[in-house]
Amino acid sequence: MKTSQALNQLKYLQVFYDSIPQPRYRHADLAVMREKLDELRSLKDDLGHYPEYQKLLNAMSQIVAKLEKFDELSCKSQREIWSNKSERGMNKVIPPILERAGKTLPVSWTDKWGNTCSVSNGYWGARNYRVMDVLGYMFLRKVGGDRLPKDGEPTFNDLCDIIELEKQLYGGYDNVIPGKAIHYIRFTDDQFRKDSKLKISSAEIMTLLLETSRVEFKLTYPVRLKATGARENIHSMNYYSRFFELRSEDLSVRSDGVVLSRRYQVTFNTFLGELTVNNLLAKFNDRIDIRLYLLPDSAQIFYRRALSHNNYPKIDYGLTTIAELTGLTDSNQSNLTVTVEKNILRPLIEHGYIESYEKVTENREDPKYVIKRFVDEKGKSK
């Protein structure tokens, strides 16, 4: 191909690329993008040394890679995005506890009810929330017979039931309900990878599950109860508890002793595990579209803690509150502002979780962000 012809083709592809509305990956068609990218790559011999060619090639390649990732997350049987059911109490009250230099455990804070809460024996981040999403989804599918149950109700009648269980557990059972396990799930590495969309080894899965199982919390925990229906109640925990107990068995071991695959049993026989099961069965859950897992960790965490459990069309948060919700600690307001906008708010817009945000600086000590969500024709947020 003559250089002049190649340049004309490059110009045509640039016009095509520029015509796609922003954010482009949300408006581009994967099949069309692949076709155009192939055309662009065919010009490499003639235009590979042109900066304009390299810039367009990088831009289109990134969009195709992101679209392919979205396509991978889509259900094969129907063109919709796989969603996990995420237990709401966890999303509302458990903050990220990130390992940083100089930080020691336990970590304590005061919640919105004025109660002192704390975390000991481990750290908690985006992947730990994700593990709990997967385990909750697996549990509900087990209850429903390989599908989400249509009906369900809390396991606790009222707060007295919860208080009584807590007294029993910490009266000599080491925080684990004795006897035969009632609420449990079994799964393999492959099943965990399928529901989490994590491409990690068996050893990495084992480590992630162990780390999640060992974190201990003392919290004010929201629950739904039979006696009060859909109303949210709270129980202030008096002792530390874990989410679940973990067991595993080796299914395939290499000749050098490396475990290639495992089967796991997760048992929700702890106090916090019982509260989790109660809320899952009571449909006290948030729908977590697994495309959320593609976002930066801080954007994932902000969505869980601030947006997933309400449907306000417009909601505002101060910069300091956003930092507290997501575990950001930068004391420089300018740096913190850049981080919040770049790693939280803009990714949420680009991925379609919010429509827009507006920064209000009347209070310069703590500027506020007014977050607008997509609404339907009736004015309700989607």
Residue at 78 is within a domain: no
Q: What is the pLDDT of residue 78?
A: 41
Strand partners, 302: none
Do 209 and 231 belong to one domain?
yes
How many whole angstroms separate alpha carbon 304 and alpha carbon 291?
Answer: 13
| Residues 84-124: tens digit of each pLDDT | 889 999 999 999 998 887 778 899 999 999 999 999 989 99
Please check the confidence at residue 171 and state whether its pLDDT lies above 70: no
Do 223 and 328 belong to one domain?
no
Do 259 and 314 belong to one domain?
no
Do 129 and 190 belong to one domain?
yes
Lowest-confidence range among 5-9, 90-94, 119-123, 297-301? 5-9
| Residues 22-69: tens digit of each pLDDT | 767 767 888 898 998 998 898 888 888 888 889 989 999 988 887 887
Which tokens is 91 given? 């999303």
Do 274 and 308 belong to one domain?
no
Residue that terminates a domain, selected from 257, 292, 327? 292
Residue at 114 is within a domain: yes
Do 102 and 221 belong to one domain?
yes
Residue at 302 is within a domain: yes
191 residue type, one letter: Q
Mean pLDDT rounded to a whole number for the chain: 89
**Model pTM?**
0.81
Do 300 and 286 belong to one domain?
no
| Residues 200-219: tens digit of each pLDDT | 999 999 999 999 999 999 99
Long-range contacts formed by 196-205: CB under 8 A, 24+ apart? 196/130, 196/131, 196/133, 196/134, 196/293, 197/72, 197/73, 197/82, 197/290, 197/293, 198/130, 202/259, 202/260, 202/261, 202/262, 203/258, 203/259, 205/262
Residue at 123 is within a domain: yes
Do 311 and 249 belong to one domain?
no
* CA atoms within 13 A of residue 177's CA, in its CB half-sphere: 19
Residue at 310 is within a domain: yes
Q: What is the pLDDT of residue 279?
A: 97
Residue that terminates a domain, selected from 53, 73, 93? 73
Q: Is the C-alpha dihedral spanning 329, 335, 339, 345 positive or negative?
A: positive
How many whole angstroms separate alpha carbon 8 and alpha carbon 16?
Answer: 12
Structural domain range at position 318: 295-382
Report how many domains make up the chain: 3
Do 111 and 124 belong to one domain?
yes
How many whole angstroms separate alpha carbon 217 and alpha carbon 23?
Answer: 40
| Mean pLDDT across 254-266 | 94
The CATH number covering residue 337 comes to 3.30.1370
Which tokens is 291 given? 């495309």
Residue whose tokens read 């006290």? 284
39 residue type, one letter: E
How many whole angstroms separate alpha carbon 5 and alpha carbon 15?
Answer: 15
Do 186 and 108 belong to one domain?
yes
Which tokens is 155 given? 């396991």
Full DSSP string of 135-185: HHHHHHHHHTTSS--S----S-SSHHHHHHHHHHHTTTSTTB--SS-SSEE
Residue that terminates a domain, selected from 248, 266, 292? 292
Residue at 243 is within a domain: yes
Do 107 and 129 belong to one domain?
yes
Residue at 278 is within a domain: yes
Residue at 110 is within a domain: yes
Nearest to 70 by CA among 288, 289, 356: 289
Phi, psi of 102 (to 5 degrees): 90, -10
Do 67 and 119 belong to one domain?
no
